[in-house]
Amino acid sequence: MNIATTRGATKSSLSLPNILTYARIAAVPVVVGCIYAQSIMDQPLWLRWVAVAIFIAAGVTDYLDGYYARIWNQQSAFGRMLDPIADKLLVSSCLLMLAADGIIHGWSLWAAIVILCREILVSGLREYLAALRVSVPVTKLAKWKTTIQLVAIGFLLAGEAGDQVVPVVTQIGLLLLWISAIFTIYTGYDYFRAGIHHLIKEDEG
């Protein structure tokens, strides 16, 4: 690798959009740690508000990294690879922590399981389609799914602390989680259909 290529890669990996993505990944252990300390170690409820604030900030970076990458023409293969990984780490870790916390329980666990299974399925399909140089664009419905999912998790992170302010905060979060799970099934089917289509074509070829 020559010097110019090395410098280009360094500049790309340290661009503002990628730094925002790193920040989203760094937020994961902080959010999980706050909920763990409050719920498992019986620490003060204000830790849930800290978790919510950091989670919201992480969600904002999800929008800003793509926005700045487009307007500043700083889109990169590294960023496209890391961005969905950061999203999945944040969502999956929060769902698992909320299940351990007991906020997500009973039938609502199925909504979380559907979301987690879809994330694993889509990750595998994306890897397979990428090997075939096939791109599956993100639909508007998928973006809405992500938005509802993040809002649901935000409500659930507030949990008991939120219920002390508005008694239905947790219930709203669980309802939105189910809505997100329904959207997840539909959007996941789009990826699955695209993957099966190209798999059949490759076998026939």
Question: Domains along the chain?
Answer: 16-204 (1.20.120.1760)
pLDDT grade for 112, boundaries at 50, 70 and 90? very high
Confirm if 114 and 184 have CB atoms less than 8 A apart.
yes
In the predicted structure, residue 150 carries a pLDDT above the cut 50: yes
pLDDT grade for 119, boundaries at 50, 70 and 90? confident
Question: pTM score, two decimals?
Answer: 0.84
Residues of the chain by 3-state class (helix, strand, coil), percent to 5: 85, 0, 15
Largest CA distance in the chain: 61
The model's pLDDT over 70-97, given as tens digits with 9 standing for 90+, comes to 787 777 766 677 777 888 899 999 999 9
CA dihedral 26, 112, 97, 103 (to 10 degrees): 130
In the predicted structure, residue 23 carries a pLDDT above the cut 50: yes
The model's pLDDT over 37-47, given as tens digits with 9 standing for 90+, comes to 999 898 999 99
Residue 179 identity? I
Confirm if 180 and 152 have CB atoms less than 8 A apart.
yes
Burial 25-55 (b: 16+ CB within 10 A, else e): bebbeebbebbbbbbeeeeeeebbbbbbebb
Residue 132: per-residue pLDDT: 65
